[in-house]
């Protein structure tokens, strides 16, 4: 569970707790900017160990490609790169010859 999910869960729990208090009067809401400033003051920074733990947990959820997929994707990229370099070379050569032809005396 990342920090954003924790914050959302805490907000929902606080909201549910305020509803179960039995007060039918609406709760006064603060402006969003003031609420954000208050959140920044009250929250503590994440420790490096917590950060690394969360990074590890997120990386476990990544769908890593298999070796054949990586090879296939690499070949597609390499082929596309060679094709684009050749296309740009040909266009540069043709336009260069065309410009020199137009400015000959």
CB-CB contact of 73 with 65 (8 Å) = yes
Reported pTM: 0.45
CB 62 within 8 A of CB 10: no
Confidence of residue 31 (pLDDT cuts 50, 70, 90): low
Separation CA 39–CA 3 (nearest Å)? 13
pLDDT at 44 over 60: yes
49-to-45, 53, 55, 56 alpha-carbon distances in Å: 12, 6, 10, 10
Query: Which of 49, 35, 44, 41 is CA-nearest to residue 6?
Result: 44
pLDDT of the residue at 83: 98
């Amino acid at each position: 569970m990342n920090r954003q999910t924790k914050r959302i869960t805490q907000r929902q729990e606080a909201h549910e707790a305020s509803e179960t208090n039995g007060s039918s009067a609406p709760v006064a809401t603060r402006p969003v900017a003031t609420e954000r400033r208050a959140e920044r003051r009250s929250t503590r920074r994440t420790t490096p160990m917590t950060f690394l733990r969360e990074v590890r947990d997120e990386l476990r959820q990544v769908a890593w490609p298999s070796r054949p997929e990586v090879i296939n994707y690499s070949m597609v990229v390499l082929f596309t790169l060679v094709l684009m370099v050749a296309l740009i070379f040909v266009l540069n050569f043709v336009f260069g010859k065309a410009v020199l032809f137009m400015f000959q005396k």
